[in-house]
Structure 1
Amino acid sequence: MVRGKTQLRRIENATSRQVTFSKRRNGLLKKAFELSVLCDAEVALIIFSPKGKLDEFSSSSMQETIERYRAYKKDVEADKCIVEQNLQHLKNEAATMAKKIEVLEFSKRKFLGENLGTCSIEELQRLERQLELSVTGIRAKKMQVFMERIDRLKEKEQILQAENATLRDKCGVENPQQESSDKGEEGGKYDENDVETELFIGLNRETRTRRVTHDLYNNNN
């Protein structure tokens, strides 16, 4: 048969209660002894019977174990107190930070041009000065970034020109800029044997003279 689960409650019969107490007390003392021996644990057990009789077991010294227990509880209470203090400090810091964030959000909305109905003239002027300083700083930083980028591009250009010159020297190719410069100098020189030519489209000079003379004669007649 399967043993049913025993319901834990006070035994009403005094004799049965005393018998159960004796059996379980002896078993508990035996388990405490086995635990101290097998696991090398410091065990202290104190039992008071219903009539006030003391039964105890200690693997070392009961007084030393109790003092150790008190010291441990004191340390635990101190640590608990420190934890509670730290927790309260963190709560206060969180509340302070929440207030600062709220103030910053309100100032941010003002810088964005919102909630300006309650601002005085002095506060509006202060906001304007701060915005002007911010814009000046941003523009200065932008110009600095542009100049740094231009300098980097110039350095890259010089490197590429040097590499290009090296490659032309290896391939035996003349510098196009030098070649165009030489051609410009040669084109500027004058040679006496050069023949100047003029391109004219239409009637030649003699034919035009004859036509003009004929027209004048007809007009006079």
Structure 2
Amino acid sequence: MTRKRIQIKKIDNISSRQVTFSKRRKGLFKKAQELSTLCDADIALIVFSATNKLFEYASSSIQQVIERRSQCSGIHRLEHLPIEQFMQFESDSNDTLRKKVEEKTHELRQLNGEDLQGLTLHQLQKLEEVLKRSLASVSRVKDEKFMQEISTLKRKEVELIEENQKLKQVPSLTQYGQRQSLESTISSSSYLLEEDGSDTSLKLGLPLLQ
């Protein structure tokens, strides 16, 4: 038995309308999730109920999808601008960027202590506060670097002390080995002389003539 098709029109009964909204909304979000998973699509859904209650779904982030949509809309509008309007848009953009660069350059000169004559007392105090915060940040990072250097030097000192102790043990072992080798050589030489039977005593004077 086939299901009866529901006529697509506003449901007059409020209870039935709310039940249908809840079921259809869940089904819509489920289909969106399946489409995102199957096709690797970035999807965002925003739904307001009749009672002005917000429901939303996003495969990544609602904000990210909205930003992407705005960027694509801007590019789409630029692609369809007449050449004169496009050139005007480029000129306005360049002027805006140029002004921002000039402002930032002027701020940088003031931070370096230049072009201060036109500033009011309040502006000078504000600039002084900015410099104090910057100096505090620099000092904090500098102190951290100092502590890191000190820790590194202490670690190297410990390593050098351990290495020095190891090197001090090496000569004693070498001397012990040399002494053992010398004693062995002398013993071998004495043994060979005794075996040979040669007279090793010292004799003075000329040899006797036969």
Bin the TM-score by the shorter chain: 0.3 to 0.5
Rg larger in structure: 1
What's the TM-score, normalizing by structure 1? 0.37
